[in-house]
Amino acid sequence: PLGASDYLEMCQAFHTIIIRDVPQLNLKLKSQARRFITLIDTLYDNK
């Protein structure tokens, strides 16, 4: 899953989502950090 629509589907499919082993994000991982923020925002908005 890479975008908000994918994350929204996950929210609809699962009651609980556990995220483990999140690496420390930095400027070298800007794209991954943006996707992670989108994931968290989507999970929060659809709780």
pLDDT of 2-35, one tens digit each? Answer: 788 999 999 999 999 999 999 999 999 999 999 9
What whole-number distance in Å separates Cα of residue 40 and Cα of residue 31?
14
Quote the domain boundaries for residue 26. 4-45
pLDDT over 70 (residue 1): no
**Quick one: pLDDT band at residue 38, thresholds 50, 70, 90?**
very high
Per the structure, how many domains does the chain have?
1
**DSSP secondary structure letters along 1-47:** --SHHHHHHHHHH-S------PPPP-GGGHHHHHHHHHHHHHHHHT-
How many other C-beta atoms lie within 10 A of the C-beta of residue 29?
13
**Mean pLDDT throughout 34-46?**
94
Q: Predicted confidence band at 47 (pLDDT cuts at 50, 70, 90)? A: confident
Furthest-apart CA atoms within the chain: distance in Å: 32
pLDDT at 30: 94
